[in-house]
Amino acid sequence: MTETPPVRALFFDEPAEAVDALTRAVRDGAAADEIRGGLVRMPAAGKNAVLAEVGRVADGILDMNVFDIFEQSWTRFTALRDAAVMSLANPGGEELAEMATHTASFDYRPSVEVQLADLPVASVGLRAKLDFTVRGLIGVVVDGHLVAVRAGTWEFEGTLLLAGQKVAQRQGKVEIGSEIRFRRPIPLL
């Protein structure tokens, strides 16, 4: 594994599966009633198009990179902070930091706003709740920044809700066999 997956990949095997599940949840749940109620004068085909678009927008929110959600918690690791200090004494050189076990939780609650002629019709809430345990990871630190992780495993358990309705729930384990580079170096000091 050399690329970090989007949050969507933790819940669905295929991107189209995510769009379908989210669109179904929007069309069949409480959000549909609220949206349809706000679009009273719109023809049924138009309402269905709006509901499908809400599903696509909700799916786009799940495009967030999995390791980006760890960004704020990396700085709590003493081993990473120590490696960051040492890396500043050796500009451009890599320092490796072993991280035995690390746990993190992520509770992301964005919403999709539906408007008609600039007037609010509905707000559809999305919630991605994830719990992670990372084991045996090696952090790669350059110039005071975490730039990559190597080896190890991470386990996750997550629930995805749309307008309070459960859309997906999954747990799994990912083996990190090679190096994963971050899109942006993460400052550790």
| 73 lies in some domain | yes
Report H helices in 15-151.
15-28, 30-38, 44-61, 78-88
Q: What is the rounded CA–CA span in Å between residue 57 and residue 25? A: 13
| 1 lies in some domain | no
Q: What is the pLDDT of residues 155-189, one digit of tens each?
A: 899 999 988 889 999 999 877 778 888 888 989 98
User: What per-residue confidence (pLDDT) applies to 85?
Assistant: 94
* Other Cβ atoms closer than 10 A to 151: 15
Bridge pairing between strands 145-150 and 179-187 = antiparallel
Range of the domain at 105: 8-187
Cβ atoms of 50 and 27 closer than 8 Å: no
Q: In total, how many domains does the chain have?
A: 1
Place 2 in a pLDDT band, splitting at 50, 70 and 90.
Answer: very low
> Residue 97 has which token pair?
């930091």
Place 70 in a pLDDT band, splitting at 50, 70 and 90.
Answer: low
Which of the pair, 75 or 90, is modelled with greater confidence? 90
Which of the pair, 87 or 44, is modelled with greater confidence? 87
Cβ atoms of 135 and 154 closer than 8 Å: yes
| 3 lies in some domain | no
In the block, which residue shows the tokens 């952090």?
A: 139
User: What per-residue confidence (pLDDT) applies to 75?
Assistant: 66
Q: What is the pLDDT of residues 95-153, one digit of tens each?
A: 999 887 878 788 888 888 888 788 888 888 888 898 988 888 889 999 999 998 887 88
> Residue 185 has which token pair?
């170096």
> Residue 58 has which token pair?
């909700």
> Residue 152 has which token pair?
């190890």
Q: What is the pLDDT of residues 41-64, one digit of tens each?
A: 788 888 888 888 888 888 887 888
* Other Cβ atoms closer than 10 A to 170: 14
* CA–CA distances in Å: residue 76 to residues 80, 104, 138, 158: 8, 11, 15, 23
**Nearest alpha-carbon partner for 97 in 105, 106, 87:** 87
What residues are paired with 125 via a beta bridge?
111
Q: What's the pTM value of the predicted model, to 2 decimals?
A: 0.72
> Residue 167 has which token pair?
């859309």
> Residue 179 has which token pair?
């190096």
| 129 lies in some domain | yes
